[in-house]
Structure formats: C-alpha cells, structure tokens
Amino acid sequence: MKSVYPLKPDQPFNLDITLSCGQVFRWEKRGDLWTGVSAGRVISIRQSGRKIEYSGCDEEYLEYLFHLDFDLESVIGSFSTDEYIGEAVERYRGLRVMRQDPWECLLSYLCAQNTGIPNIKRMLGNMAVMNGKKIVQGGQEAYAFPGAEDLSRRCDADLKGCSTGYRSGYICRTSSMIADDPGWADRIRSLDYTGARKEIMKYPGVGRKVADCILLFGFQFYESFPVDVWIRRIMNDLYGTGNPAGPLSERDYDRIADFGREHFGNYAGYAQEYLFAGRQ
DNA sequence: GATACTCCTCCCCC
DNA sequence: AGGGGGAGGAGTA
C-alpha cells in the first residue's frame, strides 16, 4: 500500500459496509483488501480501525469518491429520531453514500432493473471486458468502464452477449443519446430534483426507481428516495406506508418516497441507504 | 388513470 | 439431471 489516509476523529467511516451495501457493483474483496475500478484506475483499499491504506489514486480522489469530506455525523443527526432509523444508523455506522461517475451510475442502474446484485455485477463486468479499455497497473489487470461512445457502436447483438437480456435495447439507445450529448450530466446537475428526475427519465429504460438511484448515487440529490421491493417492504413493516403485496403502483411509489422525505428530511436518500443495508 | 402482461436471466427447489 | 417457478422494474397495450 502506498498511502495512508488520516480519518478525522469525529467522522465515522466503514469501508466494508460502504462497499458491500449494494450501491456499487465493481468492487471485490480479497482477504481484507478491496479492489475496484474507478475513473479508469485500479484502486485498492483496506481499513483497519481508524487507518485507511490505499493505492491507485491520490488523496483528493479517495476523499471525493467515498465522500470523506462530508459531515456524516450531522446528516445522521438530522434524521428525525425514531427507534427504527436509530437502530439502522447504529448498526451500519460509517456507511457513506459514494460519489459515482454519472455515466457509469446511469448504466449500472439501467442494468439493475428486474434482477439482483450478482447478476448486475456480471453484466457490468462483461460489458467492461468486452468494450472497456484494458488497464495494466501495478501487476494487476482490469478493464475500465466503457464509455457511451464505446457502447453505442456495438449495439444490440453484441450487448446481448453480456447477458443484459432485454436491457440491451435500452443500453444501446441510451448510449447513443449520451454519446451525442456530452453536456448531459452538467445539464442535469443544474436542475432541481424534480426537474432532474423528469430529464433523466427521458432515457429509455429509466423509470422512477432507476432515476432516483442515479440522482442519489451519481448526482448527490439527497432528497431522492429510491423505492424498490426491499424498501417497500421495510417501509411498510416499520412505518406502515402502504400495501406490501402486489405490483408497486406509481401512486404507492410516490406515497412511500414522499413519506421518506417528510419523515427523514433533506437527506432522506441517506436514510434510505441505512434502511436498505438491513434488508434480507 | 389504473391494470395486466411481456421482456430476460439467474437461482432455488423439486 | 432437467424443468418449473419466482424474483426483479420499465414499457406498452
């Protein structure tokens, strides 16, 4: 390990929980060492207590990626205190919402519809190997996440070989739109949550849930409160927000998300991650 | 405006 | 062993 990051004493951080809670899909743990590809670099990182050792990027990027410059303590303190969120915050102390690259995040959650985490990892891994640049770094070999231009050139047939299934059509069309519009992310960033959500739902394959994930993980809109089947169940169990069975209607989705925002406040999306971490 | 069905892959259970 | 059923969101009819 090349470098050591000095964690600030009043700032909780838990690397394991942060990387395994289901927000990112291209990180693997071997022994106590996590390795992932981010911004075209292979990054390795381990934590022992208050010590973070890492290699493959500079301190500035590490801080940026894991949001270590963010006052997590006061965010947690801003949740209205009830026993359920209190327990989740205690159990998953140090979980941080990472700052993902908007494009990688968009494509990741496009793939994430209608499937589980192992399969999402498989799809993204396949796409990287087949379409991404090979990186050789420090004796390790890895593949960068492919750009929108890379994917838009290899539509449909090729993408199906990545086990993306019916999503290949969405990936193809969305890639083309993004490849032709380099300012897309800045435009979304300049809007408020509601406007940004509307805008991002114009991409084929992006509905409410996928949009909310992208806005939370790729654009740091913390009022975004993604509702998937897990969160729906949890919110129903804990707060009685709606009917737990049958297909999730748009009305139910909005009711649960609005409740989340009212109950947890401006950082509802952060609260959502703490609740989601406790799913099973 | 709400409901039902399809899209595809993986995984689990028999 | 191989097949059937369920899980998981978005889009369309």
Q: Greater confidence, A247 or A170?
A: A170
pLDDT at A220 over 70: yes
pLDDT at A2 over 90: no
pLDDT at A242 over 80: no
Catalytically annotated residue among A8, A133, A134, A209: A209
Which pLDDT value is given to residue A1?
72
Q: What percent of chain A has pLDDT over 70?
A: 99
Cα dihedral angle (A169, A172, A177, A180), rounded to 10 degrees?
-160
CATH architecture of A3-69: 2-Layer Sandwich (3.30)
Which pLDDT value is given to residue A254?
93
Domain with CATH 1.10.340.30 in chain A: 102-134+145-219
Average pLDDT over residues A184-190: 96
What's the one-letter identity of residue A51?
K
Q: How many other CB atoms sit within 10 Å of the CB of residue A112?
A: 21
Q: What percent of chain A has pLDDT over 90?
A: 77
Cβ A54 vs Cβ A1: under 8 Å = yes
Q: What does pTM read for this prediction? A: 0.95
B strand bases under 7 Å from protein CB: 2-5, 7-11
Nucleotide nearest to A249 (CA to C1'): B2
Residue nearest to nucleotide B2 (CA to C1'): A249
Spell out residues with C-beta < 7 A from strand C.
A 112-116, 166, 170, 201, 204-211, 228-230
Which pLDDT value is given to residue A245?
75
CATH architecture of A102-134+145-219: Orthogonal Bundle (1.10)
Continuous segment of H or E residues that includes residue A30? strand A27-30
Cα A257 from Cα A34, distance rounded (Å): 33
A84-106 pLDDT per residue, tens: 999 999 999 999 999 999 999 99
Q: Is A209 a catalytic residue?
A: yes
Q: Quickly state the pLDDT bin for A156 (edges 50, 70, 90).
A: low
Domain with CATH 3.30.310.40 in chain A: 3-69
Which pLDDT value is given to residue A3?
95
